[in-house]
Structure 1
Amino acid sequence: MLTFGRARRLLRITTVFISHGLDEFVANLHLFRLYAYVLRLAPWRWRQTRAPRGERLRLALEELGPIFIKFGQMLSTRPDLVPEDIVVELSRLQDRVPPFPSQQAVALIEAAYGMPLSQAFRTFDTTPVASASVAQVHFATLHDGTEVAVKVLRPGIDIILRRDLALLQTLAQLAVRYWPDARRLRPLEVVKEYEKIVHDEMDLAHEAANASQLRTNFQDSTLLYVPRVFWDYTRRSVMVMERITGVPISNREALVAHGVDLRKLAHNGVEIFFTQAFRDGFFHADMHPGNIFVSFTGQYRAVDFGIMGTLSADDKYYLAENILGFLNRDYRSIAEAHVRAGWVPKGTRVDELEGAIRTVCEPIFAKPIKDISFGRLLMNLFQTARRFNMEVQPQLVLLQKTLFNIEGLGRRLYPDLDLWITAKPFLERWMREQLGPRAVWNAVRKEYPNWIHILPEIPRYLGTTLRQAKDGELSVRAQSDEIERLAQDMRVRHRRIMIGLLGGALLAVGLGVFGVTHPGFVARYLDVIEIGVGAPGFVLLAWSVLDLGRRPQ
C-alpha cells in the first residue's frame, strides 16, 4: 500500500534522480512520470553536463542516505543482474556518514549493559573513530588495561531500516508492474536478499561470531591477524573487540616509509583470499581499503566482519576447476565443470558453451598476463553462462566481488602485480590435495567411525543381501529410460558398498591383529598377517569411500 509517507519519500527519490540526470530510471516510476517531464524543462538542466550513468547513479544513492548506499553496495555484487558499467561504479560507494552524538552512544551502551559506563570500562573516548550507516566505533580501555574498540548501533536504526525497506519493496512492486525488464532482473527477490544482508549487519553478535570463526581459522598465521572478541561485553547492539593498530592499507606512502615490501604485501593479499576461499570455505566478503590495516612487519589486520561468504566443498572444487581452466585456456574443462556442477541445465550442449566461453575469453588473453583480471574473467563467465540459463549462484557472485576488491587493492599497492603467479601454484596444490593420497587418508579417517559401527553387522548384511539376490528380490524392472538409469545407479552403488564392506572387514581384522600383537616370535608372524590383510582392506575401503562420492556414469 502506498501511504502518504511513502509517496512523499518517492517524490524525494524522483527529485534526486532527476537532479542527477537519471531520467531513464525515473520514467519507470510511472506515478511520477509527469513530474519527471516537468523537471526536465527546468532551465538549470539545459546546459547540464551528463557524466556516465553509473557515476550519476552512485552520486544519487549517496545523496539518498545510508540504506540506499548499502543497497547500491549490494547491487555491485550482482553482475548477473546489473550492467557492468554500473557494477564497477557502485563498487566505489563509500559507507561514510556523520557520527551521531556521543551522549546517545553512551546511553545505548549503558542500556545494553544495565550499568554505568564507568563500571564497564576504565576509560571511554567519546569521540568516534569511525562512523557508518549502521554503527559507529569508539576506543576504550577495559579495567585490566586492555585497549578495545567498541562498536554500537545507531539509535533508531531499526525504524529507518523498516521505513526504507518498505519503500524499496514498493519500488520493486512498481517495477514489476510497469517495467518491461522486471521479470529478468527480479527486483522483489533482490530486495528480499538485501533485507537479509541488512538484518545480519544489524546483529553485532552475529558479526562477532564471524570474527571469532575467522580468527580461529588464522590463529597461527603470519599473513592475517583477526582481533579477539570480548564476548562478556558483546550484545546485539554493542560489540567489543581488541583494538587494532597499524597503517591503513590505502596509505601507500606510509607503508613505504615503514619499509613494508609492497610486492610481497600485494601477493600475500591474494594468498589470504585463496586460503579463506579454498582451505576454509569461509571468507571476508567486504575487504575494501577501509577495513584493512597493515602492521609494520607487513601482516594484514582486518576489521568489520558483518559480511562473510561461504563455499561448500562442491563450490570450491568446481570453482577451482574453472579457474585452472582459465589459467590453462582449457575452455572445454570449464564448460564441462559447469554442467557437472549443475550451474547450467543438464541438457546444455558442452560444445556450444565451450565456444561461447572461448569467444569471450580469447580477446582478454590477448593482453599481457599481468593485466588480466580474475574478477573480470569470472564476471564475463557468469554473463556468458546466463545465455545458457545459468542459475544465479549468490555465493560465487559474492566471491567474484571480493576478488575484484583484492585485485584492485593489490594493484594499487604494486601496479605490476601478477595475480596468476600466486593463484596457479596455490590452486594446483589444492587440487592435488583433493585427489592425492592425503585426500584418500582424510576421507578414510573421516568415514572410519561410521564404518566401525556397522562392521559387526556385516555378516547379517551379507547374508540378507545374498538371500535377496538368490530369491530375485534385488532385480529392478525398467519401465523407462529414466528408471533404467536409476536401476543402473543402484547396481553400481550396491557394488561399491559391498566392496567397501569387504575392505572395512579386512581393515578391521588388520587393526584387530595390531591391537593384540605382543613382542616375541609370534608377533612377527602376526605383523605379516596385519600387513597382508589390513593393507588390502585399507585400499578397498579408501576406494569405496572416494568412489561413492562420484556420480555413476
Structure 2
Amino acid sequence: MWETLGTVRDLGRLQEIASVLIRYGFGDVVRRIGMAGALERAGRLLHWHHAEERARMESPARLRHALEELGPTFVKLGQVLATRVDLLPPEWIAELGGLQNAVPALPWERIRPQLLEDLGRDPEELFLRLEREPLAAASLAQAHRAWLPDGTAVVLKVRRPGIREVIEADLRLLARLAEIVEVQAPDLQRYRPREIVQQFAASLRRELDFAAECRNAERIAANFAGFDGILIPRVHWQWTCERLNVQDHVDGIPGGDLAAVDAAGLDRRALARTGAAIVLKMVLEDGWFHADPHPGNIFYLADGRIAVIDFGMVGRISGQRRMQVAQLLHGLVAQEAEAVSDILLEWTDGGVDVDEGRLQSDTELFAEQYRGVPLKDLRMGAMLIEITAILRRHRLSLPPDLALMIKAFLTLEGLGRQLDPDFDMAGEARPYVEQAMLQRYSPQTLARRGRRSVAGLVDLLADLPRDLRRLLQAARRGRMRAQIEVPTLDAFGDRIDRAANRMTMGIVTAALIIGSSIVMNSVGGGMPNRWLMALGVLGFVGAALAGVWILFSIWRSGRRR
C-alpha cells in the first residue's frame, strides 16, 4: 500500500519517519506495517541501529522524543493522544502530556512578507510600535507584541509560512499508516487508528485557521456575559484572517508561576474556585469548552480574574451528552454503581461485545471503595482515571468529545490542587451537576421533549399509509425479502463444509491407493506394463500428497480452535 504514494516528497518524508522510529527503538513497528519493505524497493535503504541511551528509555519516553523529532504534525498528534485517557494508560498520558510545542522562532525576514500580504500594508506603518523579537514560538505559529496608534497593546499570532503544505503531506501519510495498521496489526484495531487520525486531521485543520479560533473565543466570551471572573482577549477583526490573529495583549501571571501569584498577594483558593466555575459552566451549561486548559493558556490577573487564551482546540457536547455527563458525575459523587455502568454502556460502540454483568460488577467494586468517604476527600481526577481504566479493561472507548472533556477535567483539578492543596473538585462540581439533573425534569424541558415526541408521532402516523402501501406492493410483486443472519450457524456451516472436503479427499485418497495397488499387482513383463507401473507410482504419489493435505488441514483446524 505504501508503494502508491503520490509524490517523491511523500516518499522522502516516509523515509524520515521510518528512520526516526528506528532510532528510538520502534524498528519492529516499521517492519510490521511494511514501511521498511516499501522504502527498500524504492531504493532508500534503512540503517537498523539506534543509540544505547535511546534504547534504555521507557517506551512512553521514547515515543515522546520520536514525536518531538518528527515535527509539528506529530507533536499535535501526541497531544491529541494525550487526551485519550480511555485508550492509553496513565504513564503514557503523562509522558505525552509533556510534549512541547516550543521550537526556534523564524527570523523576522521570513515572517514579514506573509504579514505584509495579510495586513495589506507595511506593518511598521500600521502599528505605533512592533517588536520583531517574538514573545513565544510554537510549532504552528509565533507571537509578536505590537501597539496600536491609540496605545493599546496587542499580540500578533502569525502562522508559520509554508506550514500547511508540510502538515497536509504528513496527514496523507498518517491516513495511509492508519489503514495499514488496521490490516497488518489486528491487535491495534481496538484503538481505532483510522478514527483517531480522522479526528486529529479535522482538529488540526481547524487549528490552522486562526479566524476560526477567534470565532471560538467570541462564542465562549458571549456565553460568559455577566460572569466577572473571566477575561477573554478582544479580537481585532480588521486585521485577523486565516493566517493572522490579532488580539489584545494579556498582562497577567502565567498559570504555572505560583511564586508570582504569592508575590502579587492573590488568593489561591479563590483562583482555584474561579477556574473550576469557568470549566464547569463551559462543560455542563454551555456545551462549548476550551479543550486545552494547560498553564500556558491561563493567566491570573491582579484583580483576581482569570484570562484564557488560545481557543484553537475546543470541545463540543450536545444537550443529551451533557445530561449523560451530569448523570455520570452524579453517580460518581453519590457512589451509585448502576447509574455509572448504565452511562458507560450508552457510550459503548454497538459493534463491541460487552459483558454487562462484569462491567457492572467492576463499577460496583469501584464505587464501594468510596462509600462513606466525605465529599471533600473525593478526588474527581483519580475517580475519572479509574473509570477510564475500567473502560480499557472492557475494550471500550469514549467518543472523542467526551475524551476531550475528561482531559479538561483532569487538567483543571491538577491546576486547582497546585493553587490549593485542599481543592475540592467534587464539591465544586456538585451544584452544577444537581442543577443539570433538575433541569432535565423542569417543566420547560419536559414540554420541549413532549413537543418533539408529539411531532415525531404525528409524522409517523402521517407517513404510515404510504409506507404500508409500499410494503403491500412489494409483497404482491414478490420483491419482499427476509434476511436472517445467525453468525453461529454460519460458523457451524463452515465447519461442516471443511469436514465434507476432508472426507471427500479421504475417499479419493483411499481410491487412489486401492486403484494403484490393483494396477501394480497386474504388472507383468513388457513395455506396456512399464506404463502401468508408472501409472501406479503416480497414483501412490497422489495419494501421499492428498494424505499430507488432509493431515495439514486437521492440524490447522485444531490450531484455530
TM-score tier, shorter chain, comes to 0.7 to 0.9
**Partner residue of 1:199?**
205
Alpha-carbon offset, residue 414 of structure 1: 2.2
Counterparts of residues 136-175 of structure 1 (less than 5 Å): 136-175=142-181
**Partner residue of 1:402?**
408
CA distance in 2, matches of 1:90, 1:166: 23
Residue 232 of structure 2 aligns with an amino acid whose one-letter code is: V
Q: For structure 1, which runs of at least 5 residues remain unmatched after alignment?
A: 455-460, 480-553
1:440 corresponds, among 440, 443, 446, to 443
Counterparts of residues 117-128 of structure 1 (less than 5 Å): 117-128=123-134
**Partner residue of 2:306?**
300
**Partner residue of 1:333?**
339
Secondary structure, counterpart of 2:186 in structure 1:
coil
Alpha-carbon offset, residue 316 of structure 1: 0.9
Cα 1:336–1:253, aligned 2, differ >3 Å: closer, same or farther? same
1:374 corresponds, among 362, 374, 380, to 380
Cα 1:249–1:18, aligned 2, differ >3 Å: closer, same or farther? same
Alpha-carbon offset, residue 385 of structure 1: 4.3
Cα 1:365–1:206, aligned 2, differ >3 Å: closer, same or farther? farther
Secondary structure, counterpart of 1:100 in structure 2:
coil
Greater displacement, 347-356 / 186-195: 347-356
CA distance in 1, matches of 2:377, 2:130: 47
**Partner residue of 2:276?**
270
Query: Quick check: 1:20 aligned with 2:24?
Result: yes
State TM-score, norm by structure 1: 0.73
CA contact (8 A) 1:13 1:64 kept: yes
CA contact (8 A) 1:344 1:388 kept: no
Secondary structure, counterpart of 1:415 in structure 2:
coil
State TM-score, norm by structure 2: 0.72
Alpha-carbon offset, residue 357 of structure 1: 1.4
**Partner residue of 1:102?**
108
Residue 427 of structure 2 aligns with an amino acid whose one-letter code is: I
Length, aligned pairs only: 452
Deviations 1:231-268 (A, max 9, x none): 12211111111111110110000000111111221222
Deviations 1:381-427 (A, max 9, x none): 34534666756411111101111111121222223322122122332
Alpha-carbon offset, residue 348 of structure 1: 7.0
Counterparts of residues 125-136 of structure 1 (less than 5 Å): 125-136=131-142
1:291 corresponds, among 297, 312, 321, to 297
**Partner residue of 2:487?**
none
Counterparts of residues 235-246 of structure 1 (less than 5 Å): 235-246=241-252
CA distance in 1, matches of 2:140, 2:386: 33
CA contact (8 A) 2:255 2:300 kept: yes
**Partner residue of 2:64?**
58
Greater displacement, 164-173 / 405-414: 164-173
Residue 302 of structure 1 aligns with an amino acid whose one-letter code is: V
Aligned-residue sequence identity (percent) comes to 32
2:195 corresponds, among 189, 211, 225, to 189
1:312 corresponds, among 302, 312, 318, to 318
Cα 1:443–1:103, aligned 2, differ >3 Å: closer, same or farther? farther
Alpha-carbon offset, residue 155 of structure 1: 0.2
Residue 440 of structure 1 aligns with an amino acid whose one-letter code is: P
Greater displacement, 314-323 / 366-375: 366-375
Cα 1:341–1:69, aligned 2, differ >3 Å: closer, same or farther? closer
CA distance in 2, matches of 1:14, 1:368: 52
CA distance in 2, matches of 1:263, 1:365: 27
CA contact (8 A) 1:318 1:341 kept: no
Residue 14 of structure 1 aligns with an amino acid whose one-letter code is: A
Residue 430 of structure 2 aligns with an amino acid whose one-letter code is: K
**Partner residue of 1:76?**
82
Residue 77 of structure 1 aligns with an amino acid whose one-letter code is: T
Alpha-carbon offset, residue 205 of structure 1: 0.8
2:49 corresponds, among 39, 42, 60, to 39
CA contact (8 A) 2:25 2:55 kept: no
CA contact (8 A) 1:294 1:301 kept: yes
**Partner residue of 2:286?**
280
Greater displacement, 98-107 / 316-325: 98-107
**Partner residue of 1:489?**
none
CA distance in 1, matches of 2:182, 2:346: 34
Secondary structure, counterpart of 2:331 in structure 1:
helix
Greater displacement, 178-187 / 58-67: 178-187
Secondary structure, counterpart of 1:150 in structure 2:
strand
Residue 443 of structure 2 aligns with an amino acid whose one-letter code is: V
Alpha-carbon offset, residue 218 of structure 1: 1.5
1:218 corresponds, among 219, 224, 244, to 224
**Which of the pair has the greater relative contact order for Cα pairs under 8 Å at 6+ separation?**
2
CA distance in 2, matches of 1:194, 1:312: 20
Query: Quick check: 1:422 aligned with 2:428?
Result: yes
CA distance in 2, matches of 1:342, 1:71: 24
CA contact (8 A) 1:229 1:242 kept: yes
Alpha-carbon offset, residue 362 of structure 1: 4.3
Secondary structure, counterpart of 1:272 in structure 2:
helix
Q: For structure 2, which runs of at least 5 residues remain unmatched after alignment?
A: 472-561
Secondary structure, counterpart of 2:156 in structure 1:
strand
**How much is the aligned-residue C-alpha RMSD, in angstroms?**
3.5
Alpha-carbon offset, residue 443 of structure 1: 6.5
Cα 1:53–1:391, aligned 2, differ >3 Å: closer, same or farther? closer
CA contact (8 A) 1:204 1:238 kept: yes
Cα 1:233–1:249, aligned 2, differ >3 Å: closer, same or farther? same
CA contact (8 A) 2:22 2:48 kept: no
Secondary structure, counterpart of 1:11 in structure 2:
helix
CA contact (8 A) 2:118 2:239 kept: no
1:231 corresponds, among 237, 247, 256, to 237
